[in-house]
């Protein structure tokens, strides 16, 4: 299931998608992390439709995507730490939460009314080509129904959102398969709001120690509840399947017949396979999905974060 270089959409298809975005439409596009669902960040009606199509709570802000650091500098003030992180990781799977310029063209609903703005420059060539062509800030959450498993393939987007979006650009499987790391630089202490594709240690090598714990829900909205969840329940740290369960293995110790996130125990491979595996096992003949333990180091930290949220009590299902 790991991504291999695939032929993506041609220049004319990307140009058409850029026109759709400019016209206020919704376009799903590949990034190196997961597929995003894009809308103009400067258009209130397009953003309202984006929240509606995802079924996303209005209090959960969106990440704005741009094609270059220069374009990002027009959206928010970048202090030294922000400039250093951008230089180290953009284009790439890092999102920075910064104060927002009050006069920014990005409409307030993009950041759910908060005085901050989340920004990222993705590295996927199709995402960059689209953002360059459209030449506007594009808000893009993961292209799934709110609370469900994030899409790492165009087919996943089609299955969840189908006719409700105006276009889906297909470039095969996402190489990383886990969302960007979200770092808040709002206070004196930088903090990780969401573990992700870039490890904590790599960020600390650039800007020094981060706050140990994530700040409270007021600063990290959308991180509290059940998320990334397949329809079936998840049972974590399982050593063997129980009757009626699907089994998701990891490493050489897994039963041969089980779907395996990475037979060799490679965490990057496991991350790339995680969401597609959960989607593949989310079938009516199973009562639940049992997942083998994943080591809590490196990318395993972000994988386990997603698995714990996917296994959390469902509540309102947001």
Residues in the site for Mg ion, rule: CB under 5 A?
142
**In the complex, residue closest to Mg ion by CB:** 142
Return the range that interacts with ligand TXA (CB under 6 A); candidates 9-17, 90-98, 198-206, 272-280.
90-98
Asked whether the beta carbons of 173 and 2 are under 8 A apart, the reply is: yes
The nearer residue to Mg ion, 142 or 273, going by C-beta atoms, is 142
Residue 33 lies near ligand TXA (rule: CB under 6 A): yes
Q: Compute the distance between CA of residue 197 and CA of residue 216 in angstroms, rounded to an integer.
A: 22
The nearer residue to ligand TXA, 177 or 249, going by C-beta atoms, is 177
Shortest gap between Cβ of 35 and Mg ion (angstroms)? 10
The nearer residue to ligand TXA, 111 or 160, going by C-beta atoms, is 111
Shortest gap between Cβ of 10 and ligand TXA (angstroms)? 22
Residue 34 lies near ligand TXA (rule: CB under 6 A): yes
Residue 177 lies near ligand TXA (rule: CB under 6 A): no
Question: Which of ligand TXA, Mg ion, none does 8 bind, CB closer than 5 to 8 A by kind?
Answer: none
Residue 21 lies near ligand TXA (rule: CB under 6 A): no
Q: Compute the distance between CA of residue 204 and CA of residue 186 in angstroms, rounded to an integer.
A: 16
Return the range that interacts with ligand TXA (CB under 6 A); candidates 134-142, 159-167, 241-249, 297-305.
134-142
β-pairing verdict for 245-249 and 259-260: parallel
Q: Compute the distance between CA of residue 72 and CA of residue 66 in angstroms, rounded to an integer.
A: 6
Which pair of structure tokens corresponds to residue 248? 């998701």
Question: Which of ligand TXA, Mg ion, none does 33 bind, CB closer than 5 to 8 A by kind?
Answer: ligand TXA
Asked whether the beta carbons of 97 and 184 are under 8 A apart, the reply is: yes
Distant-in-sequence, close-in-space partners of 208: CB < 8 Å, separation ≥ 6: none
Q: Compute the distance between CA of residue 186 and CA of residue 92 in angstroms, rounded to an integer.
A: 21
User: In the window 204-243, what residues touch ligand TXA (CB under 6 A)?
Assistant: 220-223
Token pair 């759709």 is found at 20
How many Cβ atoms sit within 10 Å of the Cβ of residue 242? 11
Token pair 């590295």 is found at 123
- State whether residue 120 is helix, strand or coil: strand
Site residues (vs ligand TXA, CB under 6 A): 31, 33-34, 36, 60-63, 93, 95, 97, 111, 114, 116-118, 120, 122, 140-142, 179-180, 182, 193-194, 220-223
């Amino acid at each position: 299931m790991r991504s291999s270089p695939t032929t993506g959409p041609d220049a004319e298809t990307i140009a058409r998608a850029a026109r759709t975005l400019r016209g206020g439409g919704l376009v799903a596009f590949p990034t190196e992390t997961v597929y995003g669902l894009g809308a103009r960040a400067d258009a209130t009606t397009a953003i309202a439709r984006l929240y509606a199509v995802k079924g996303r709570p209005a209090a959960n802000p969106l990440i704005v995507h741009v094609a270059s650091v220069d374009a990002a500098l027009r959206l928010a003030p970048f202090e030294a730490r922000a400039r250093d992180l951008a230089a180290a990781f953009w284009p790439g799977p890092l999102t920075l939460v910064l104060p927002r310029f009050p006069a920014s063209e990005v409409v307030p609903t993009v950041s759910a009314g908060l005085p901050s703005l989340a920004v990222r420059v993705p590295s996927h060539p199709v995402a960059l080509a689209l953002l360059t062509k459209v030449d506007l800030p594009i808000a893009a959450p993961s292209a799934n129904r709110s609370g469900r498993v994030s899409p790492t393939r165009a087919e996943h987007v089609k299955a969840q959102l189908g006719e409700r979006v105006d276009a889906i650009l297909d470039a095969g499987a996402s190489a990383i398969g886990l969302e960007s790391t979200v770092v808040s630089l709002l206070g004196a202490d930088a903090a990780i709001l969401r573990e992700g594709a870039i490890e904590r240690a790599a960020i600390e090598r650039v800007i020094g120690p981060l706050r140990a714990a994530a700040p409270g829900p007021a600063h990290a909205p959308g991180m509290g509840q059940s998320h990334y969840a397949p329809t079936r329940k998840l049972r974590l740290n399982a050593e063997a399947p129980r009757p009626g369960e699907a089994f998701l293995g990891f490493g050489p110790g897994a039963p041969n017949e089980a779907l395996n996130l990475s037979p060799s125990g490679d965490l990057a491979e496991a991350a790339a396979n995680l969401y597609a595996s959960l989607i593949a096992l989310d079938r009516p003949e199973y009562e639940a999905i049992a997942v083998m333990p994943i080591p809590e180091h490196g990318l395993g930290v972000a994988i386990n974060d997603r698995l714990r949220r996917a296994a959390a009590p469902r509540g309102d299902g947001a």
